[in-house]
Amino acid sequence: MYIYKEYYNGLLPNKPDSFLLLHFMNKAYLLLGSNLGDRKKYLSDAVTLLEIHAGKITLKSMLYNTAPWGVTDQDDFLNQAVCVETKLSAQQLLENILYIEEKLGRIRIQKWEARTIDIDILFFNSDIISTDNLTVPHPFLHQRRFALLPLSEIEGNFIHPVLKKSVKILLADCDQNLVVDLV
């Protein structure tokens, strides 16, 4: 984004063609989940790797123990929502997330299977993105109490850009009955 000097009352060099290029940080809300091995360590390692490969983690929810969703004959998940400020685009963030998941032993064979780590992009700014490999906001977010509860803890007033409701309202409206317990 270009901001011309007249908006800065002489703070920029006194040249008619001078301008300032501002770098805005993107804000992404992510849900981390693990139901294999040392679940707390996988979440902690994911946060560390996100700091290295994505950006600054500015908010973290508490940890929540959740019954599995989708494929239910597997161990419970440990979930945590985080907010990351990043210079990456949504696509670059996704690519780095996939790298982090692979680094932490994630193997993709079947949808909704047990995993060492799962990192979902719930929101990316207030963007609406639909590509072959990325949909934001997350298409199932409003149906998942295990995602809405930790997200509401860190950013309950965020407005879903498609549904036009706050995270708190989506949580109140969510009729999913899976048990979600604070750890």
Active-site positions read 106, 115, 118, 120
Task: Tell me 73's DSSP state.
Answer: S
- Residue 44, both tokens: 């902690």
Residue 28 and residue 104: Cα distance in Å, rounded?
A: 21
* Residue burial 108-146, b: 16+ Cβ < 10 Å; e: rest: eeeeebbbbbbbbbbbbeeeebeeeeeebbbeebbebbb
